[in-house]
Amino acid sequence: MTDLMVLTLTKKAPAAHWGNADVTFENNQAVIHLKEGDQLRQIQQAARKLRSQGLMKLSLEGERWDLDSQWSLAQGFATAKSMPEIIWTGDEATQIALTHRLSSASFARYLVNETPENLAPVKLAILAAHWLSELGGDKVSYRIIEGDQLLEENWQGIHAVGRGSARPPAMLELDYNPLEGDASVSVALVGKGITFDSGGYSIKPSEGMLGMKCDMGGAATVTAALGLAIKQGLNKRIKLFLCCAENLISGNAYKLGDIITYKNGVTVEVVNTDAEGRLVLADGLQAACETGAKLVIDAATLTGAAVMAVGTNYNAIFSPKSEVLLKAQTKAAEVGERVWPLPLESWHRDMCPSAYADTANSRAMKGGGAGGASNAAGFLWRFVSPEVNWLHMDLASAFADQPNSLWAAGGTTHGMLTITALLQDS
């Protein structure tokens, strides 16, 4: 095989000597043989096989390639070790769109796959701010609130979760404003940025902790989504809030039984220090609602319960408003991503009761008990203004602990396109 492999699509069955193979080869050419069913999934699976055989560079040829099929190929061909090298096909607009997608997704993968040692909370905020500033120029402004300054501004949750680390927690407040003057904010984005999650005093087992560099996947996803929208020429004012901390154990770490009093007056008893994501997002959601944005979207690798409910090929979505869920489903389908709504009723806000505070951050049982993903969403709802349209994305499909038939190990960026589409159409 040569360094560059030409790749085409066909609906024809392979020659008999290939049996039931979905990919065949001849010299420096490969063919993906499509069957009935989900052809984008077939293409992504074929791309994983090609990469596993050591191929590093592909040139796509033929009329069957469109935007969605080429992107599915790129998602399967990407790995944690290198950005895929793909020569796109199609018209100039299609090739530009794919290039923008790949560069944004690659930045998100870089963040998610970086070692915890190299990605402290403040560094995550700085990298995200600098990348967006490079894309948006003087349309982007930001500030980073770190350490005890969080307490001074009453961002209690981020500080509590991150204070056990020698490296300070931080909140990134970023404003993208391509409009003149003090324009209204169309959408506010919130991302969970736990750069490493040991579980705190509710410590995780080793096998459950190994992949916890991914726990800032929500921050990476919303950052990449905004960056992609900027590349696409987004002409709306957007605010971004990243809630960044390391959840570690020390003599200064927060403990079970602590009570956090939030800016809106809600008191929260800590019954599980491994349910830390919702504690930092509570600050970010309040900050987002203060902007006056009509739509607030948060994204987080929040619960194992979401993974158990929808698996690793979907992201779970929640909203108290059915029209918000329908729009998210529509946009996800348009860009070839998968989301699935899980229940969120008003009584979910009371599913983590406390004898000492307004609510607890979980239930004192393994995994937070039944309906854990909905209970977490109910907790977050306490920090969302009633008039706001709110979408919560529990990113069950944002990270692959092990390589599988669709994804290499590491960050997947699944969810980025959905959020970008919502930014463009909100």
Q: Scan for tokens 């905004």, then name that residue.
A: 226
Q: What is the C-alpha to C-alpha distance for residues 93 and 162, in angstroms, rounded to an integer?
A: 44
204 is a catalytic site residue: yes
So what's the pLDDT on residue 185? 98
Active-site residue identified among 48, 109, 163, 278:
278
123 is a catalytic site residue: no
Active-site residue identified among 64, 123, 204, 236:
204
Tell me the pLDDT tens digit for each residue of 236-272.
999 999 999 999 999 999 999 999 999 999 999 999 9
Order across the sheet with 359-360: list the strands. 259-261, 267-269, 359-360
Q: Scan for tokens 């609130």, then name that residue.
A: 145
Q: What is the C-alpha to C-alpha distance for residues 281 and 117, in angstroms, rounded to an integer?
A: 23
Kindly state the tokens that stand for 377: 């969403």
- Across the chain, mean pLDDT equals 96
The model's pTM is 0.97
So what's the pLDDT on residue 2? 52
Query: What is the CATH topology of the domain spanning 114-424?
Result: Aminopeptidase (3.40.630)
In the chain, where the domains are located: 4-90, 114-424
So what's the pLDDT on residue 353? 97
So what's the pLDDT on residue 27? 86
So what's the pLDDT on residue 426? 84
